[in-house]
Chains A and B, each alone.
Chain A
Amino acid sequence: MTVATNPSGRRSGYRDAARIGRTEAGPRPLPPLSESKPAAEFELVERTLPTGLRVIAVARRTVPTVELRLRIPFAGEDRTHPARAEVLASALLSGTAKRDRVQIDNELAAIGAEFAVGVDPERLLISGSALATGLPELLDVLADLLTAAAYPEVEFSRERERLAERIMVARSQPRMVAREALQRRRYGDHPAARELPESGDVLDVTPDDVARLHAEQVLPTGSTLVLVGDIEPDRAIALVAEALGGWAPPGVASELPPLPALVGRDLLLVHRPGAVQSQLRLSAAAVPRTDPRYPALQLANLVFGGYFSSRLVENLREDKGYTYSAQSFVEFSPYAAALLVETDVTTDVTAASVLETRYELARLSAVPPDEAELESARRYAIGSLLISLDSQPGVASTLSALAGVGLDARWLRAHPAALEAVTLEQVAQVAAEFFTPTAFTGVVVGDADVVSHRLRALGGIELP
C-alpha cells in the first residue's frame, strides 16, 4: 500500500474514521419490504414400491442434473455395530460381483456422477448426483451396490486400515472430543452415543461380518429414496422400480431405540491438557416437529442462540469478544428432540462464558422475547426455509431428513403458516419450560489445570 505519512504520524490525503462515518445527507430510512413472492409448489410424486422402498421424486429443472438420497434406518444395539457399520460404509463402493472399484468410479464419472456413503447411529445414507441424462446408469450402479456388493478381501483390508487412520485424525479434533464427551454425558451407553467407533474395533471387522450386516440391515422396507432434479417424477419412479426391483430382501430396516430422557445435571469438566480453547456443550430436552409447541420452540431457540442476531451471539461475541461463534439448535431423532448450545471460547474466559450462557438461558424465561425479537425470528425462520429449499441438494436433503422422522413435504408446506400463528405468550411458555438452566446437562472440555479453579467457584460443575 502506498501511503504518505507526515511527520506527526497522520497520513495525509485520507479522511479520518469520524469523517468517513458521516455524509451530508445524514442517516437514511430502512426501505420497507415489497410484496413477497410465494415459492413454487413442488412437482412431487411419491410411491411405495412392492419391495417396500418408499420413493419420492421432485422436478426441479433449474440445471440439467439430478440429486439422489437413499436413507436406510441402520441402528444396532451391539457394541461393535458402529465399527461394522463404518467399515460397510467405507467399503460399499469397493466392488460388486460384476464391477471393481475403478469400474464403479469410471461408470459414475462418465455421467458426471458421484456417490458418497455415510453412517451414524440412526441411518446409512447414500448420497449421489449425476447429469440428469445419466439417471438410468446411476440407478443401475446403485442397484448393483445394494444387491451385489462384494467387499473384496484386498480392497477391504485397505479400506479398514484407512478408516482406522481417519478415526485417529477425527479424534484429534477438539470438536470431536467434545461431541463424544457430550454424548456419553447425555446418553450413557445408549447406541446413540456411539457415533465414532474405536480404531481397534474397526481393525477386527472381517469381510464376512460386513457381508452379514449388509444382508441383515440394508433393507428396502422402512427406507426412503429421494430424487430431485431435471426429471419427470412419474418416469423417474418407473426407472427406480425397474432398476431397484431386484433389491427385495424381507424384513424392516432397523430404527434407533428411543433415547433416554434428558434430565438436567451438573456440567462435566473434561480435561484436555494444553488446550488453548475450551468447548462448551450444553443440552436439554426439546419437542419434535410433530408437537404443537414446536413452532414456538423453534422461534424461542432462534431468539436465544439460533442465529447471529440472537441474545447469546450478541452477548458472547459482539459484546464480550469471548468467541468466534456461538449457537444453539434443535437436534432431531426419530422419537425425540434435544436443544443443543455450543461455543468454543479462549481458555481464560471459560468460567465467564459458562456464566454468561447460563445467564442468557435464565433470562429467556425471566425476560421473555419481545415483539421485535419474535418478529425477527419469525421472518428468519420462514425466509431461511425458503432459501434452504432453493437448490436440488437442499430439497433432496430436507425431504430425506424429514422422512427419517416420519414427515413429508406436507409439513414443509404447512410450517410457514404455523410459524406465522405463534404468539408472544406461546414463546414465553416454551422459554420457561425448556430453557431454564437447571434443565440442562453437558460438558466443558478444556485444560483443567487452568480452568478448574474458577469453574469450582461458579458451582454446578463436576470437576475431574
Chain B
Amino acid sequence: MSIAPSPTQLLHLHRLRLPNGLRVLLAPDPSTPVVTVSVHVDVGFRSEPEGRTGFAHLFEHLMFQGSESLEKLAHFRHVQGSGGVFNGSTHQDYTDYFEVLPAAALERALFLEADRLRAPTLTEENLRNQVDVVKEEIRLNVLSRPYGGFPWILLPPVLYDTFPNAHNGYGDFSELERATLDDAAVFFDSFYAPGNTVLTVVGDIDIDETSRLVDKHFGDILARPTPPRPSFAEPWRGAQRQQTVPDAHAPMPALALGYRLPDPAVDLEGYLAHTLLGSVLADGEAARLQRRLVYGESIVTDLSAGAGLSGSPLNARDPDTFIITAVHPASVEPERVMRVVDEELDRLVQKGPDSGELSRISARWASSIYHEHDRVMSRTLALGSRELLYGRAELAAALPDKLAAIGPAQVAKAAAGLRAQGRAVLVVEPTGATNGGEQR
C-alpha cells in the first residue's frame, strides 16, 4: 500500500491580491482532469437589512440572471454547454458561487464569474421572476414538508435576541415581495465589492498562466469601499428559554437544544473540542446519547449533535451554535430527553471521554476530511469559505491533526460550558392536520 501525502502537503496554496482588493487563492492539483472556480462574497443572511429578510438569498438568485456580456440564461448555458456543473448558496456570513468544469474551460469559467461580479444585469422582470422561484423553494423546503426549517430557521429566534442572529434567512413572503431593484443595486454596490470577495481556483493549473487570466478577467472590476463588518455578538444567556412551534405535517414531535460556542477565531481549540463533543454524544452506534436514548431507554428515534447551524463545523463566524436534535414518539416528554442529555453531559464534565473513544472519533473525522479533500468541488468550497471567514484556508487540511490533538480534558471543559449556560429549547409539536395522501 502506498503512503499518500497528507492533504496539507497536497495544498500548495498560492495567494494573490489584485489592486481592486480581490483576494485570490490558487491550489494546483495535477491529478485531476477538472477545474473548480469559486467566488465567496462576505455577505450572508446575518447582514441583510431589517424589513428585507431573505434578501441575501434572493440576491444570490439574481446573480444567475445575466450580466453585461451574458443575456438571461446564458450563464447556465455556457457552464453546462462547456461540460460543467454550477451552484450557489447563501449562509449566515457568506454567499458562495461555484462551477466545476473539464480543465479546458478554465478561462471560460473565470470569464463567467468575473462578468457578473463586474456588471450584473439587475432588472425588474428578473427580480419578480426570482421572487416567485424563491417562494417555490421555500414552499418546497419549509412549508409543504414535515420539520421544514428544523432547526436552522426555528431555533435561532429562541437562542438569540438581535435581528441578525434571530431572523429567518429564507425570509418572509411579504418582505420578499417588497424587495425593489434599488435594494438590489445598493446591496450589490456595497457588499459585492471586490475587496469583500475571495476567488478560489483548484485544478491542474499553472500558477503564472492562471494569475495572468485572473488579472485579465477580474482586474478591471470597479474597486469600491469594503463595507465595515459589524459585530453580531450578543450576551450568552443565563437562563433556559423554551418555545413550542406547531407542525401540521410532522408525524412525531422533535426537539432541538441550542447552545453558544466559543468564537472559532479566538479559541479554535475550544471550538473544535465541541465538534468532538458532538461526536462523543451522537455519531455512531457507540455514541453516548445513541446508546442511552435510542437504545437503552428507547425513547428517541433519531438524534444528532454538533457545531454549526447547517450541521457542519467552521462554517460561520461568532456567534455560532451547538445543536442537539432528537425526533421522539409523542408518548415521551421532551423533559425526559433533556434530563438524559444533562446527565450525559455531567458524566463527561466529571470524567471526560476516555482516550480510546476520542482517538476513534478523530479517526472518523480524518476520514471524512480526506473525503472532502478528494472531491475538487468540496475541497474548493472548504478552502474558499475558511479563507473568507478566518483568513485561514489551510484549516481545511490541518483539521485532522488539530482534532487528534484535543484531549479528554478539553472535551470535558466543552461539556461544562454547555451545562453552565442558558440553552434554547425548541419543541416541534405535530398538529396532525394533513398527513399522507389518500386516494379518493
Assuming the contacts A36-B104, A172-B251, asked whether A63 and B364 have C-beta atoms less than 8 A apart, the reply is no
Task: Say if the beta carbon of B367 comes within 8 Å of chain A.
Answer: yes
Q: Which of B121, B250, B371 has the most CB of A within 10 A?
A: B371
Assuming the contacts A271-B438, A376-B77, asked whether A62 and B363 have C-beta atoms less than 8 A apart, the reply is no
Complex: A290 Cα to B111 Cα, angstroms: 39
Specify which chain B residues have a CB less than 8 angstroms from the CB of A140 in the assembled complex: none
Of A2, A161, A392, the residue contacting B371 (CB under 8 A) is: A392
B107 near A390 (CB under 8 angstroms)? no
B7 near A380 (CB under 8 angstroms)? no
Task: Say if the beta carbon of B351 comes within 8 Å of chain A.
Answer: no
Of A168, A325, A346, the residue contacting B251 (CB under 8 A) is: A168
B33 near A33 (CB under 8 angstroms)? no
Specify which chain A residues have a CB less than 8 angstroms from the CB of B106 in the assembled complex: 34
C-beta contact mask, B162-185 vs A, less than 8 Å → 1, else 0? 000000000000000000011011
List A20-39 residues whose CB lies under 8 Å from chain B.
20-23, 25-39
A22 near B102 (CB under 8 angstroms)? no
A11 nearest CB neighbor, chain B only: B186
Task: Say if the beta carbon of A158 comes within 8 Å of chain B.
Answer: yes
Complex: A123 Cα to B236 Cα, angstroms: 50
Specify which chain A residues have a CB less than 8 angstroms from the CB of B34 in the assembled complex: 386-387, 390
A34 near B136 (CB under 8 angstroms)? no
A63 near B370 (CB under 8 angstroms)? yes
Task: Say if the beta carbon of A267 comes within 8 Å of chain B.
Answer: no
Complex: A10 Cα to B183 Cα, angstroms: 10
C-beta contact mask, B119-148 vs A, less than 8 Å → 1, else 0? 111110000111111111101100111100
Complex: A32 Cα to B104 Cα, angstroms: 9
Among the 9-residue stretches A143-151, A250-258, A274-282, the one with 4 or more Cβ atoms under 8 Å from chain B is A274-282
Task: Say if the beta carbon of A355 comes within 8 Å of chain B.
Answer: no
Query: DSSP majority for the A interface?
Result: mixed
Task: Say if the beta carbon of B238 comes within 8 Å of chain A.
Answer: no
A20 near B119 (CB under 8 angstroms)? yes
A19 nearest CB neighbor, chain B only: B185
Task: Say if the beta carbon of B235 comes within 8 Å of chain A.
Answer: no
Specify which chain A residues have a CB less than 8 angstroms from the CB of B377 in the assembled complex: 387
A28 nearest CB neighbor, chain B only: B69
A93 near B2 (CB under 8 angstroms)? no
A174 near B144 (CB under 8 angstroms)? yes
C-beta contact mask, A339-350 vs B, less than 8 Å → 1, else 0? 000001110000
Task: Say if the beta carbon of A155 comes within 8 Å of chain B.
Answer: yes
Task: Say if the beta carbon of B68 comes within 8 Å of chain A.
Answer: yes
Task: Say if the beta carbon of B374 comes within 8 Å of chain A.
Answer: yes
Complex: A177 Cα to B199 Cα, angstroms: 42
Task: Say if the beta carbon of B246 comes within 8 Å of chain A.
Answer: no
B359 nearest CB neighbor, chain A only: A110
Of B2, B100, B122, the residue contacting A17 (CB under 8 A) is: B122
Task: Say if the beta carbon of A270 comes within 8 Å of chain B.
Answer: yes
B375 near A391 (CB under 8 angstroms)? yes
Task: Say if the beta carbon of A1 comes within 8 Å of chain B.
Answer: yes
B144 near A277 (CB under 8 angstroms)? yes
Specify which chain A residues have a CB less than 8 angstroms from the CB of B234 in the assembled complex: none
Minimum Cβ distance to chain B for residue A242 (Å) = 15
Of B182, B295, B361, the residue contacting A155 (CB under 8 A) is: B295
B84 near A3 (CB under 8 angstroms)? no
Minimum Cβ distance to chain A for residue B209 (Å) = 10
Q: Measuring CB to CB, which residues of chain A are less than 8 angstroms from any residue of chain B?
A: 1-3, 10-11, 14-17, 19-23, 25-40, 61-65, 93, 101-102, 104-106, 108-114, 129-133, 135, 155, 158, 161-162, 165-166, 168-169, 171-174, 177-178, 181, 230-232, 235, 268, 270-277, 307-309, 314, 317-319, 321-325, 344-346, 375-376, 379-380, 382-384, 386-387, 390-394, 445, 448, 464
- 9 tightest CB-CB pairs across the interface, nearest first? A383-B83, A321-B132, A112-B367, A376-B81, A109-B360, A177-B437, A105-B285, A112-B363, A63-B370
Q: Measuring CB to CB, which residues of chain B are less than 8 angstroms from any residue of chain A?
A: 1-4, 6-7, 31-34, 47-49, 67-69, 72-73, 76-78, 80-86, 100-108, 111, 115, 118-123, 128-137, 139-140, 143-146, 181-182, 184-190, 204, 220, 227-228, 248-252, 284-286, 291, 294-295, 298, 301-302, 327, 329, 356, 359-361, 363-364, 366-367, 370-371, 373-377, 433-440
> What are 27 residue pairs bridging A and B, where the CB atoms are less than 8 Å apart in the complex?
A16-B185, A20-B122, A21-B67, A23-B118, A30-B111, A32-B108, A35-B104, A36-B104, A62-B4, A63-B373, A101-B285, A102-B291, A109-B284, A109-B363, A110-B363, A111-B363, A165-B327, A169-B251, A173-B145, A230-B1, A272-B434, A274-B248, A276-B144, A324-B136, A380-B80, A383-B84, A384-B85
